[in-house]
Amino acid sequence: MRQIAALPYRTEGSAIDAPVRVLLVTSRGTGRWVIPKGNVASGLAPHVAAASEAEEEAGVVGAACPTPIGSYRYRKRRGNGASLMADVEVFPLAVTTELLKWKEQHQRERRWFTLADAADAVEEPDLRDLIRSFDAREFKAATRRATMLAAVAQKSRIPHMFGWFQRLLPKTGNFFELFEAHAVTITAAADALARLFQQNGGPTQDHIREIMEREHDADNIIREVLQTVRKTFLTPFDRSAITSLIGAMDDAVDEMQAAAAAVDLYEVTVFEPEMRDMAAIIVDAARLTCEAMPLLRDVAKNGARLHELTERLVRMEGHADDIHDAGIKRAFTEYGATDTLKFIVAREIYKHLERIVDALEDVANEIDGIVIDHA
């Protein structure tokens, strides 16, 4: 999903280094601070559309630069519950007029912020960086940020050639953060999968698309894990345990994507009760996986709780197997003799649902192995 946004700004004074302020508005749904944005209107240049959004949402008029300063990503909640990724191109808008009345003045609040305060007020990390780098002074300050070792080197007048020493220091990696990020992705994909299977005749494309996006997010995370494993001197667990755990987690998301792709390919719009039940199990199994990941930071302390969670995951996999068998039997009884193609399609979807649960059981087994080795 592509959107455009305006970053309304003004300078406080005429000096070359005069401070810059930007205008933020509250969102209509959650009341959080955002910049005016919207979809690209047909027939309008992107910067013109951004200026139009600023006038409607923030009540400001000015000169919109046709060259964007960058872009950021966020997830947009749709009315049907889907959360889709949106890429937003940001155009700076030099404000010349603040309107006393505008279209959405009773739906939003507007406020001028310093660059630092505006960056702290917004939630999207990429937008935060864009705002901070908008002023030349802020950009230069960001480029001058030094590591602790570099600061010591500067104070002690050690030449920068000794930067090689920093590269020789042992690295421990950020594996726990990556595990947790992947678990969050699994949970989000599972939620989208459940919404997909609850449609029964309703539109499915938004939910299918969200699952695909979540799978791409997961691919980026596992890629970083595998790269970090190669670069890291000290790892919290055995390297094979790390790669096996993240691999099992990624298999679950991959199968969610495969299930969504099968629904899309065969244009399935009505789902059997057993399919919906398996999707519900997947949601709860993903939630347990998400709960387990932070506990890995201290396996010795959390070993008992981790074992409880993995036991539940294994039991849920057994229950899902029973539901899977019942669903296949129902499909064969209803369609086997009269609509072979429909039975084949149903069997294909059940296969992917079963593989998702199997992958989450594999995650439980990997966690159990870590607990046995380290608790």
Write the DSSP assignment of 169-236 as a string of letters.
S-----HHHHHHHHHHHHHHHHHHHHHHHT-SSS--HHHHHHHHHHHHHHHHHHHHHHHHHHH-SS-S
CA-to-CA distance for 71 and 204, rounded, in angstroms?
28
Q: What pLDDT shows up at residue 14?
A: 58
The three-class DSSP label of residue 165 is helix
Crossing angle (nearest 10°) for helices 239-265 and 175-197: 20
Q: What pLDDT shows up at residue 161?
A: 44
CA-to-CA distance for 257 and 215, rounded, in angstroms?
7
pLDDT tens digits for range 298-334:
999 999 999 999 999 999 899 999 999 999 999 999 9
Residue type, 332: F
Q: Which segments of the chain have a pLDDT < 70?
A: 13-18, 135-173
CA 240 vs. chain centroid, Å, equals: 26
> pTM here?
0.69
Token output for 60: 């400001």
Beta-bridge mates of residue 26: 33
Q: What pLDDT shows up at residue 135?
A: 63
Q: What pLDDT shows up at residue 181?
A: 92
Taking alpha carbons only, the member of 327, 314, 315 closest to residue 353 is: 327
Taking alpha carbons only, the member of 206, 203, 205, 208 closest to residue 193 is: 208
Q: What pLDDT shows up at residue 128?
A: 92
